[in-house]
Amino acid sequence: GIDISKLRDVSGAITIDPGYKNTGATKSAITFLDGEKGVLHYRGYPIEQLAEQSTFLEVAYLLIYGDLPSAQVLADFRKKISRHTLIHEDMKKFFDGFPSKSHPMGQLSCLVGALSAFYPESLNPNMTEEEEELTIIKLLAKMPTIVSWIYKKSLGHPVIYPRNELNFVHNFLNMTFGQITEDVVIDKVIVDAMHKLLILHADHEQNCSTSTVRIVGSSNANLYASISAGISALWGPLHGGANQAVIEMLENIRNDGGDSAKWLAKAKDKNDPFRLMGFGHRVYKNFDPRAKIIKKACDDVLDKLGINDPVLDIAKQLEEAALKDQYFVDRKLYPNVDFYSGIIYRALGFPTDMFTVLFALGRLPGWIAQWKEMRANKEPIGRPRQIYTGSTKRDYVPLDQR
């Protein structure tokens, strides 16, 4: 075996792999994924068991620290988080400065990056383990507050302060949907569905946003800057932004008469830029195990809340037709995590442009775990190579002679 990192020194050659389709950038002990079999484990635990039996905060602990916590450790973790749920009052000025219709993802990446200005101790790459722990706890604790306040400000509502006696997810929902003057009882169905969705999004090994977090962090950039970059990477419709794009697509299909065959044909037409959003995945060449769980949760939530959403019927028709279609079969294109998640978010009462922000809230523990692992492994700065295809050397021509 040749050490690939030494290939250039011994032969002058570099490997070229656009999109890193076959390039491993790191060794990681966090998430195991078998895309051919449709298997996903966090720290060895199957995603199906975690989604069914665990809570989001417990899964966050598992991802970041490596093992399931004991009851006492989990209680301590909860307590530490509840001490940091407030955000600096001066941060409110940021919310006021954004135009009311600005996209929540743009606001989120800005606000998370801005935490570094309020907690400058996070800038020290040689911080102690305790300082690193506190930097992480602050981010986990403040993220739900930031997300809820983005939503409240978009409505022109007063913001709701965190209530630390509530659990992590319940507190988030209370800040998002509660009212300042009276306690709103958030339906258990909604709290359970939210735990499940956040758990299913919590990590997915070296995807686009996670690789971004690791590569930004590899320059010794602070946690808040690294996660802010990850949020920007997640925003794109080929990645986390797909959950917003799916609902917009399903609504377009409904408004166009609900003819799924017509839209399937568009997705197959190579002269048409339209793609079936929520379908296909770089690594899953079989059912995305998260999509299976979400599809069932979607039925349960709509059923329990008594909602009849016509876009769910369109989604099911599309899925059924695509799974029988030779184009999709040949390319192993199956529904991914985003295909049904938006329908649940909508049923829970979130507007479409908040969907990708909810994905970011779920992915946060994974990004943190990967950033922490990258630091612990003392990984070198990420710096891919290229093959130069530009002009050969030429001499500068003064402006009046061009």
Chain contacts with ligand ACO (rule: CB under 6 A):
19, 238-240, 242, 267, 275-282, 331, 333, 336-338
Is the distance from CB of 201 to CB of 344 less than 8 angstroms?
A: no
Burial of 171 (0-12, 13-18, 19+ CB in 10 A): buried
- Name the CA radius of gyration of the chain, rounded: 23
Find tokens 């809820």 and name the residue. 148
Q: Minimum CB separation from ligand ACO for residue 282, in Å?
A: 4
CB of 297 to ligand ACO, least distance (A): 16
How many whole angstroms separate alpha carbon 84 and alpha carbon 123? 19
Place of tokens 């800057």: 225
Report residue 69 as tokens. 């916590």
Tokens describing residue 290: 């998260």
- Cβ atoms of 184 and 177 within 8 Å: the answer is yes
Nearer CB in complex with ligand ACO: 58/338? 338
Give the integer Cα–Cα distance in Å for 205 and 220: 20
**End-to-end Cα, the chain, rounded Å:** 53
Q: CA 82, CA 357: separation in Å to the nearest integer?
A: 21
Smallest separation (angstroms) from ligand ACO to the CB of 283:
8
Would the CA dihedral through 346, 349, 354, 357 be positive or negative? negative
Phi, then psi, of 199 in degrees rounded to 5:
-60, -45
Between CA 240 and CA 35 the distance in angstroms is: 18
Residue with Cβ nearer ligand ACO (149 or 355): 355
Alpha-carbon span 323 to 355, nearest angstrom: 26
| Beta carbon nearer to ligand ACO, 276 or 360 | 276
> Which residue, 216 or 333, has its beta carbon nearer to ligand ACO?
333
Tokens for 388?
């130069």
From the CB of 244, what's the least distance to ligand ACO, in Å? 11
Q: Are 122 and 116 in contact (CB under 8 A)?
A: yes
- Among residues 192, 243, 253, 279, which one has the least CA distance to residue 351? 243
Kindly list the catalytic residues: 281, 338
CB 184 within 8 A of CB 205: no
Of 94 and 359, the one with the shorter C-beta distance to ligand ACO is 359
In whole angstroms, what is the distance from residue 277 CA to residue 267 CA?
Answer: 9
Closest CB to ligand ACO: residue number: 280
Q: What is the rounded distance in angstroms from the CA atom of residue 43 to the CA atom of residue 41?
A: 6
Q: Which is nearer to ligand ACO, 254 or 275 (CB)?
A: 275
Nearer to ligand ACO, 94 or 235 (CB): 235
